[in-house]
Structure 1
Amino acid sequence: MTDDRRIPPAALALGLAGLLPFLWSAATQLFPAVAAFGATWLPPMFLGSYVGLTYGTVILSFMSGALWGFAARAPEAGPLPYALAVIPALWVFFTVTDASDTSSIFLIAGFVGLLLLDATFAAQGLAPRWWMKLRLLLTAVVVACLSVALL
């Protein structure tokens, strides 16, 4: 018998790997030597808050797709789950418009809001039972990394 609350190893490994750009963003903001090293090999878009904002925008949109998949599991629920699923992508599209602190705050709020949507879908039994364990872990790291830009 398997524990359906245990995060599958592949989901955990890939979820943690997906944190690397956020961790890199924070590291290049906190440690000038890391930023200088990165600058010798990478364009500015892949350093500092830029990489966190850019990658965060991609991931928040990607997560709308995951929510859409959950919504598809409940066609009897009507259009509401689908409408909820597109909120993260629309949020990031309309609020993260530059590399300002305001965009960082909006992106952080988007990830916190995504966590609430994750919990909503999980409470309805549309997400796997392990989903919230993974999402809480990943969201905590993402929010911490994105918050570095506000220091």
Structure 2
Amino acid sequence: MNRIPTAPLLLGLAGLIPFVWGAATYLNGGLQAWGASHLGPRFVGPYVQLFYGSVILSFMSGVLWGFATKTSGSRAATGYALSVLPALWAFFMTGGGPVSAGMNLIFGFAGLLILDAAFSAWGLTPQWWMRLRMLLTVIVIACLSVGVFL
């Protein structure tokens, strides 16, 4: 079964809202002003993306840890070690201003996709996992790129 189940697909797409919102408020001054006045300045532009991106990389570390529990021996040890990398990356690499933090999050999400592929190749993920992760990662990187490259 390669079809992404409805619940993970909808929840994954809903999880993109802060990234898309951040890009939209970066590109539209009126929307940014409205968001800043109604939600607060930390919930617009790159600021919401950077904070939320760090949270999601940490969350994904937990997901990978869960996949590592499905194996044993040296592969499990490798899986556990690799699973903490996204959270550590978010912790150490998202300071220094919005452009460098955004670029580091782009690298973090690209690296996470590589880890997803490894866990998938090891047979630890659902068959549809890479389809979902590719879709979500492309959108996340596109949204983060707005604050980094524009």
Q: Which consecutive aligned stretches of 4+ in structure 1 deviate over 3 angstroms post-superposition?
A: none
Identify which of 109, 112, 120 aligns with 2:110.
112
**Post-superposition offset of 1:43:** 1.1
**Post-superposition offset of 1:36:** 1.4
**Post-superposition offset of 1:78:** 4.1
Q: How far, CA to CA, are the matches of 1:98 and 1:48 in structure 2?
A: 16
Q: How far, CA to CA, are the matches of 2:51 and 2:97 in structure 1?
A: 9
Give yes or no for contact 1:50–1:99 (8 Å, CA) kept in 2. no
Q: How far, CA to CA, are the matches of 1:15 and 1:99 in structure 2?
A: 27
Q: How far, CA to CA, are the matches of 2:76 and 2:21 in structure 1?
A: 41
Identify which of 136, 140, 146 aligns with 1:148.
146
Amino acid across the alignment from 2:31: V
TM-score by length of 1: 0.95
Deviations 1:77-132 (A, max 9, x none): 24111000000000111111143311111110000000000000000100100000
Q: How far, CA to CA, are the matches of 1:105 and 1:68 in structure 2?
A: 25
The range that moved more, 72-81 or 102-111, is 72-81
* Structure 1 residues 60-79: aligned runs within 5 Å: 60-76=57-73, 77-79=75-77
Number of aligned pairs? 148
Alignment gaps of 5+ in structure 2: none
SS, match of residue 38 in structure 2: coil
TM-score by length of 2: 0.96
Q: How far, CA to CA, are the matches of 2:13 and 2:76 in structure 1?
A: 34
Identify which of 34, 55, 58 aligns with 1:58.
55
Amino acid across the alignment from 2:10: A
1:30 aligns with 2:17: no
Name the residue aligned to 1:123.
121
1:21 aligns with 2:18: yes
Give the RMSD, CA atoms, in angstroms: 0.9
Identity %: 56
Amino acid across the alignment from 1:119: A
1:85 aligns with 2:83: yes
Deviations 1:26-78 (A, max 9, x none): 00000111111112201111011000000000000000000001111012324
Give yes or no for contact 2:65–2:83 (8 Å, CA) kept in 1. yes
Name the residue aligned to 1:10.
7
